[in-house]
Chains A and B, each alone.
Chain A
Amino acid sequence: MPQITVKVDHAACSGVGSCEQTAPAFFKLDSANRAMVLSKDGVESAAEQTLSVSDDEAKLIVEAAESCPMIAISVFDDAGGKIYG
Chain B
Amino acid sequence: MRYVIIGGGIAGTSAAEELRKIDPDAEVTIVSMEEHRLYSRVLLPRYVKGSLPRERCFLKTEAWYEDQNIERVFGVRAESIDAGSKTVSLSGGRKLKFDKLLLATSGDVLTFADRMHGVSYLRTIDDADHLLQLLNECDALDNERRRAGIIGGSFIAVEYLNFFAQRNIPGDLFMLEETFFGGALDVESFAILRSRIESEGAKLHPKSSVSGIRGKGRVEEVVTDKGNFSLSLIGVGIGIRADHRLSRAAGLNVNVGIVTNEFLETNVPDIYAAGDVAEFYDTLVGRHVVVGNWLNAQAQGKTVAKTVAGERTAFSAVRAYSTNVCGVEVIFIGDTDLRHSQRTLIRGSAEEGGVTQIFIRDDRIVGATLVNRNADRAMITETIRERVLAAEI
Residue numbers of A with Cβ under 8 A of B are 12, 14-18, 21, 29, 31-33, 66-67, 69-71
Residue numbers of B with Cβ under 8 A of A are 10, 40-43, 46, 56, 59, 294-295, 298-299, 317, 320, 322-324, 329, 331, 374-375, 377-378
Q: Is the CB of A33 within 8 A of B43?
A: no
Q: Is the CB of B294 within 8 A of A16?
A: yes
Residues of B near A31 (CB, < 8 A) are 374-375, 377-378
Q: Give bound CA distance, A66 to B37, whole Å.
A: 15
Q: Is the CB of A33 within 8 A of B42?
A: no
Q: Is the CB of B43 within 8 A of A21?
A: no
Q: Is the CB of B299 within 8 A of A69?
A: no
Q: Is the CB of B320 within 8 A of A17?
A: yes
Secondary structure of the B contact surface, majority rule: helix
Chain B nearest Cβ from A28, distance in angstroms: 8
Q: Is the CB of B324 within 8 A of A29?
A: no
Q: Is the CB of B378 within 8 A of A29?
A: yes
Q: Give bound CA distance, A71 to B39, whole Å.
A: 11
Q: Give bound CA distance, A22 to B320, whole Å.
A: 14
Measured CB to CB, the nearest residue on chain B to A21 is B299
Residues of B near A16 (CB, < 8 A) are 42, 294-295, 322
Residues of A near B329 (CB, < 8 A) are 15, 33
Residues of B near A70 (CB, < 8 A) are 40, 42-43, 46
Chain B nearest Cβ from A65, distance in angstroms: 11
Measured CB to CB, the nearest residue on chain B to A16 is B295
Q: Is the CB of B374 within 8 A of A17?
A: no
Q: Give bound CA distance, A31 to B377, whole Å.
A: 8
Known: A16-B42, A16-B322. A69 touches B377 (CB 8 A): no
